[in-house]
Every structure is written in C-alpha cells, then in structure tokens.
C-alpha cells in the first residue's frame, strides 16, 4: 500500500519532475508554478520523500570500505537567524542549524550526516553513526574544531589514523565588516591518533561538497528569504538530497554515482526509483557489488 494515498493521482513524470527540481535548487513555490500543482502538493511530496530517503540511507549505506574520510559542518538557519530568535523560543527548530557530513575522499560517498547543534552531544551522535558504517581502519581528517577530539576518541579509540587541519586566518581590517571569512594565511597539521599520511590530511573534498549543498538546495542559499521555515522540512530536504547525491547523481571525478564507486550498488538509480521508495517499492537491483 502506498505511503501517500492522495499523491497517487499525480502522474509519475510530474512527481519525478518535482523531486528533480527540489534536488537541483528550485524553490517550492517555483516548482508549484512550473509543474502546475499546489504548494501543498510539493510540500507533501517532500515530506514523503524525506521519510523514505532517510530510511533508505540508513539501511543501504553500511559496510563502507573507505580508506580516507573527511568531516565538516555547514551552517544554515531555520525560521529566523539566531540573533533574531527570542530567548524563550524553543531551542531546537529555530535559529542556527548545523549539518554534519562525512565524505569518503575516494568515492565521494556521503557516509554519514547529522542535523543539529554544533555541540558535543551532536558530535558524539554523528561520529558514532559514522563509525558504525565503516568496516576498516580509516584515515580521518577534520578541521580544528576541538569538539571532535572527544567524540572521535570515544567512537574509534586507537583504531583510526586521525589528524586535524587547522586553518590560520588573518585579522579583519579595523572597522570593516566582512561577510566572508578573513584571509586564510596558511594551515597547520596536528596529528591526533595513529599514523595518518601527511599527503592526505585534507578537508578539501568535504568543503567542496558544502558548496554543492548550497547550490543544490534552495534552503542553503545565503542572503535570500529561501531559508527553511520548519525544521521538519529542512530535515526532509536533506534526506532527499543525500540519496539523490549518493545514488542518482553521477560524479564527474569517476563518472559513477558515489554509491557505485564505493561498492554499495552496481546500479545507477534515477529519480523514478526515489518515487518507488516513497511507494514502498525499493529497487531490487540495489545489491552489493561483487
């Protein structure tokens, strides 16, 4: 039985078009105009897709044989910026929202992702989930955010080659406000655990993926009114995006989807497969590559 009884009246090509536009950075109101459907229809499909995709990612992205993993956090906000959020407002769901990601440097697979605050509790949940999806010892690189130290030590112990890449910034000119970070003057590598290869101590891939997220999801576009108004929809949009990124979108570096490059599947999914996930009909071809 379908998860979306009313949505079955919508033709498959229309549902595919809506989900594709959501993954390509179109706003929900723009999609409703282009596809000639109500904004509520777009919102309902996003919710159903998010629920199905979150479940699919959790079940499919396991036993990853990565060698090098990079982690980072990307900022966004929901409903209002932190400075404009009343103190008595609910902490979660308004103000700053951080998305934590871990990317396999070789396959470009997003191994794990987490939405929450930029604090020790969220870091622990995120790193624990990352550890549970890996099969082998990995070289792990993060930025200089100290919260990672305790979380990674608790999850990996000594079974990891871990280094921090600390960026060194100059000071802002006096009296000048800057939207972008200060000029990066250089980096410093700190070996934390094990014996990481200095040539691969980098966060370049995860930082480049942050740009992909900002360009692929309208909610992450800066200096607009396209930010998420509801935290639930923010989570659903990310769940949809990560399945699209891992299983549908072919990466230019290796001409495969990240999931194929990582050996999770030997099939290129399409957006119609995501619609089938919503309807409770997972692609049978999704099997571990031999």
**What average pLDDT does the segment 41-56 reach?**
96
Q: Mind listing the pLDDT tens digit for each residue in 205-232?
A: 999 999 999 998 888 888 778 888 889 9
Rounded CA gap, 283 and 269, in Å?
Answer: 8
* Strand, coil or helix: 185: strand
- φ, ψ (nearest 5 deg) of residue 269: -80, 160
Q: Mind listing the pLDDT tens digit for each residue in 173-190?
A: 555 555 666 777 677 899
pLDDT, residue 207, reads 94
Which residues make Cβ contacts (< 8 Å) with residue 180, sequence separation at least 6? Answer: none
Handedness of CA 242, 246, 250, 251 (dihedral sign): positive
**What average pLDDT does the segment 4-32 reach?**
85
pLDDT, residue 256, reads 94
Which residues make Cβ contacts (< 8 Å) with residue 75, sequence separation at least 6? Answer: 96, 97, 98, 118
pLDDT, residue 52, reads 96
- Of 132, 238, 139, the closest CA to residue 124 belongs to 132
Could you tell me the domains of the chain? 6-278 (3.30.420.10)
- For 223, the token pair is 């200096």
- Of 157, 243, 160, the closest CA to residue 196 belongs to 160
Cα–Cα distance list, 1 to 6, 19, 40, 53, 280 (Å): 12, 21, 22, 17, 7
Rounded CA gap, 249 and 255, in Å?
Answer: 10
Give me the chain's average pLDDT, please. Answer: 88
Q: What ranges in the chain are assigned the alpha helix state H?
A: 12-23, 28-34, 39-60, 120-133, 147-156, 204-216, 231-243, 258-261, 271-278
Asked whether the predicted pLDDT for residue 3 surpasses 50, the reply is no
pLDDT band of residue 265 (cuts 50, 70, 90) is: very high
pLDDT, residue 224, reads 79
Asked whether the predicted pLDDT for residue 157 surpasses 50, the reply is yes
Identify the weakest region by mean pLDDT among 106-110, 131-135, 185-189, 251-255: 185-189
- φ, ψ (nearest 5 deg) of residue 259: -65, -40
**What average pLDDT does the segment 155-174 reach?**
85
pLDDT, residue 80, reads 86
Q: Mind listing the pLDDT tens digit for each residue in 167-176?
A: 877 676 555 5
pLDDT, residue 91, reads 60
């Amino acid at each position: 039985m379908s998860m979306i009884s009313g949505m079955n009246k919508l033709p498959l090509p229309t549902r595919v078009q809506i989900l594709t536009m959501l993954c390509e950075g179109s706003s929900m109101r723009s999609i409703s105009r282009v596809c000639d459907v109500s904004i509520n229809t777009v919102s309902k499909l996003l919710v159903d897709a998010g629920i199905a995709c979150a479940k699919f990612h959790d079940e499919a992205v396991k036993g990853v044989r990565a060698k090098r993993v990079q982690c980072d956090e990307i900022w966004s906000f929901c409903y209002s910026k932190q400075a404009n959020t009343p103190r008595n407002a609910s902490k979660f769901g308004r103000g700053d929202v951080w998305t934590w990601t871990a990317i396999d440097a070789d396959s470009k697979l997003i191994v794990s992702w987490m939405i929450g605050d930029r604090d020790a509790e969220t870091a622990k949940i995120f790193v624990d989930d990352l550890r549970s999806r890996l099969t082998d010892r990995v070289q792990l690189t993060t930025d200089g955010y100290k919260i990672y130290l305790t979380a990674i030590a608790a999850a990996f112990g000594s079974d990891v080659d871990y280094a921090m890449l600390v960026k060194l910034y100059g000071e802002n000119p006096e009296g000048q406000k800057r939207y972008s970070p200060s000029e990066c003057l250089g980096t410093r590598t700190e070996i934390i655990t094990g014996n990481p290869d200095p040539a691969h101590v980098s966060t370049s891939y995860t930082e480049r993926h942050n740009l992909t997220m900002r360009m692929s999801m309208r909610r992450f576009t800066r200096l607009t009114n396209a930010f998420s108004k509801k935290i639930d929809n923010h989570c659903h949009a990310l769940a949809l995006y990560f399945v699209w990124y891992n299983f549908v979108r072919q990466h230019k570096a290796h001409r495969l989807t990240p999931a194929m490059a990582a050996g999770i599947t030997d099939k290129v999914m399409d957006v119609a497969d995501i619609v089938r996930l919503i309807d409770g009909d997972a692609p049978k071809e999704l099997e571990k590559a031999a």
